[in-house]
Copies of this chain bind each other. A is one copy, B any other.
Amino acid sequence: MTVVAGLLADPVRARIVRVLARGPACVCHLVEDLDLKQPNVSNHVRVLRHAGLITGENRGKFTFYHLNHVMLDTAAAQLSELAATAREHAEARRDCA
């Protein structure tokens, strides 16, 4: 979860992920949709790919990136579980030394 949070913490990466949620796209799409410089996009894509949140598929001259929805689901489940734990222990008391 912390890993995914770290990835989505950057606003540019969050936007990239949202674009990819609407379907696979290549770098040129991201550059155009998000109005960013190409090296900037490539750098962020590199981070996301290295972390496993997206995967690259070579299609000729282009590289299409796919979002790993399983990883997102796992992170969501962990967040949800954390919330459940907090709800359970909301009234717990703890002494100060």
Contact = CB atoms under 8 A, between A and B. Distances in A.
A58 interface: no
Interface string A58-97: 0000100011011011011101101111110111111011
Interface of A is mostly: helix
Copies of this chain in the oligomer: 2
Contacts of A73: 79-80, 83
A41 interface: no
B23 A93 contact: yes
Interface of A: 1-2, 4-9, 11, 14, 17-18, 20-26, 28-29, 32, 62, 66-67, 69-70, 72-73, 75-77, 79-80, 82-87, 89-94, 96-97
